[in-house]
């Protein structure tokens, strides 16, 4: 019995000293709410009270930034109003009557958390602060931020009707990170003398690629950051996090050690289809990525669900563009569904578009289509 106990103790000590990838501990975070999300797949890798509604302070400005970028007005010169410069809190010290490029205002918004910049952007893009707030809430609905409501473009605690959740802010960040200009601004360490307040980006974590800081007396410290290591992209959010820098590092390290972004369904032709009309003619348009542990790799299955073949499919032109769907399962639970396209129709549509373009070109040049 004594020998068995000694063997068990040795076994435990070995794994304590040399932990394997699948034995990495769940991260400890100080924040009241937190989440770690895989950016590519949207899978939640870690969460703590992620759907609790809380005040969010200046991470609000992620929404303000992406709306400004998507407005198509970044080259506009913005005249600064009295209302904008009277905004309380953090500032980039704008003056009434100044004319500032909208893109520069977005840099001041994201790097220095300028509340004056937030209001100036809102007035220019939305026509008024109220008009911009309407756009913020409209965009939140589009993204699926069901537990969020915005009352201002800066995150100030001047309304009880301004709140979100760690999960919703991760969704917003995932959406924003699809935009190249947002990624560039969010990941900039210094711009025209403005240093980025995100210390995770500037000094504390070499894999950090961007994010936004926040603080008010009621919200406390809030933080959104992104990080990339090898081919894996992660998003971390903390709300009311007294030790948020270390919270984010801890979550990122947990994600990078335990998970890997994996192609669970590749793009291209589907060779498994045997239907005589569809064989060698159907394909997946884009790769399906999902973040997996090593132990989960064997739990992935793919099922192809096709439309019932019709008699008129003998004429290939009658086969629809989408002929079914591919469902990806993990442990028998569906995690992704994507359409299956029919190649013949797909190619013909491109040919039709090209023919239409040539027709327009010949008309423009005065060439008759009948020669």
Geometric angle at alpha carbon 267, from 259 and 227, rounded to 5°:
30
Mark whether 22 is an active-site residue.
no
Tokens for 36? 């770690």
For residue 254, pLDDT over 60 is answered with yes
At 25 the pLDDT is 78
Residues across the chain: 371
Mark whether 154 is an active-site residue.
no
Answer left, alpha or beta for residue 89, where phi above 0 means left and psi between -120 and 50 means alpha: left
CATH 3.40.710.10 fits 26-258, yes or no: yes
Task: Give the separation between CA 344 and CA 335, rounded to whole angstroms.
Answer: 29
Residues 239, 242, 245, 249, CA torsion sign: negative
For residue 20, pLDDT over 80 is answered with no
Tokens for 174? 């995932």
pTM of the model: 0.84
At 74 the pLDDT is 97
Task: Give the separation between CA 277 and CA 300, rounded to whole angstroms.
Answer: 28
Tokens for 168? 């919703």
Q: Quick check: 329 and 313 in contact, CB under 8 A?
A: no
DSSP element (H, E) containing 131: helix 129-143
Task: Give the separation between CA 195 and CA 189, rounded to whole angstroms.
Answer: 6
First vs last C-alpha separation in the chain = 98
For residue 193, pLDDT over 80 is answered with yes
Compare 11 and 286 and report the one with higher pLDDT.
286
For residue 306, pLDDT over 90 is answered with yes
Q: How confident is the model at residue 344 (pLDDT cuts 50, 70, 90)?
A: low
- Backbone φ and ψ for 261, nearest 5 degrees, come out as -70, 120
Question: Which of 41, 113, 154, 164 is the catalytic position?
Answer: 113
At 352 the pLDDT is 52
At 249 the pLDDT is 98
Question: Which of 33, 41, 55, 61 is the catalytic position?
Answer: 61
Of the candidates 1, 191, 165, 177, which has an alpha carbon nearest to the alpha carbon of residue 109? 191
Q: Which fold has domain 262-342?
A: Spermidine Synthase; Chain: A, domain 2 (2.30.140)
Average pLDDT rounded to a whole number, residues 128-146: 98
For residue 367, pLDDT over 60 is answered with no
Mark whether 299 is an active-site residue.
no
Question: Which of 41, 58, 154, 250 is the catalytic position?
Answer: 58
Q: How confident is the model at residue 362 (pLDDT cuts 50, 70, 90)?
A: very low
* CB neighbour list of residue 357: distance below 8 Å, 6 or more residues apart: none
Q: Quick check: 66 and 182 in contact, CB under 8 A?
A: yes
At 314 the pLDDT is 87
Ordered by start, the domain boundaries in the chain are 26-258, 262-342
3-state helix, strand, coil in the chain (%, to 5): 40, 25, 35
Question: Which residues partner with 301 through β-bridges?
Answer: 329
At 220 the pLDDT is 97
At 159 the pLDDT is 82
Task: Give the separation between CA 82 and CA 139, rounded to whole angstroms.
Answer: 27
Q: Quick check: 164 and 151 in contact, CB under 8 A?
A: no
Question: Which residues partner with 227 through β-bridges?
Answer: 208, 234
At 102 the pLDDT is 98
Task: Give the separation between CA 221 and CA 198, rounded to whole angstroms.
Answer: 12
For residue 324, pLDDT over 60 is answered with yes
């Amino acid at each position: 019995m004594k020998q068995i106990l000694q063997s068990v103790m040795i076994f435990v000590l070995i794994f304590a000293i040399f932990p394997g990838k699948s034995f990495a501990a769940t991260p400890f975070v100080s924040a009241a709410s937190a989440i770690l999300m895989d950016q590519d797949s949207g899978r939640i890798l870690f969460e703590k009270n992620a759907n609790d509604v809380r005040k969010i302070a200046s991470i609000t400005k992620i929404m303000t930034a992406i709306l400004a970028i998507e407005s198509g007005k970044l080259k506009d010169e913005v005249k600064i109003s009295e209302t904008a410069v009277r905004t309380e809190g953090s500032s980039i010290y704008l003056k009434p009557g100044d004319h500032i490029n909208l893109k520069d205002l977005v840099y001041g918004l994201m790097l220095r958390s300028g509340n004056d910049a937030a209001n100036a952007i809102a007035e220019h893009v939305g026509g008024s602060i109220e008009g911009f707030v309407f756009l913020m809430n409209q965009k939140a609905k589009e993204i699926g931020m069901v537990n969020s409501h915005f009352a201002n473009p800066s995150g100030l605690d001047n309304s009880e009707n301004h709140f979100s959740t760690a999960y919703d802010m991760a969704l917003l960040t995932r959406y924003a990170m699809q935009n190249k200009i947002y990624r560039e601004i969010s990941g900039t360490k210094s711009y025209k003398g403005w240093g980025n307040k995100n210390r995770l980006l500037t000094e504390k974590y070499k894999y950090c690629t961007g994010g936004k800081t926040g603080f008010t007396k009621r919200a406390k410290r809030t933080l959104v950051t992104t990080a990339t290591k090898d081919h894996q992209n992660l998003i971390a959010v903390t709300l009311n996090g007294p030790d948020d820098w270390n919270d984010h590092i801890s979550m990122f390290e947990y994600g990078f050690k335990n998970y890997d972004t994996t192609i669970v369904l590749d793009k291209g032709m589907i060779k498994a289809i045997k239907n005589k009309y569809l064989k060698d003619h159907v394909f997946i348009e884009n790769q399906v990525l999902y973040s997996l542990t090593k132990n989960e790799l064997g739990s992935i299955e793919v099922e192809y669900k096709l439309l019932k073949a019709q008699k008129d499919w003998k004429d290939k032109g009658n086969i629809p563009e989408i002929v079914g769907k591919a469902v990806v399962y993990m442990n028998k639970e569906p995690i992704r569904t994507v359409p299956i396209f029919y190649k013949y129709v797909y190619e013909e549509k491109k040919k039709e578009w090209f023919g239409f373009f040539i027709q327009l070109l010949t008309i423009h040049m005065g060439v008759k289509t009948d020669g």
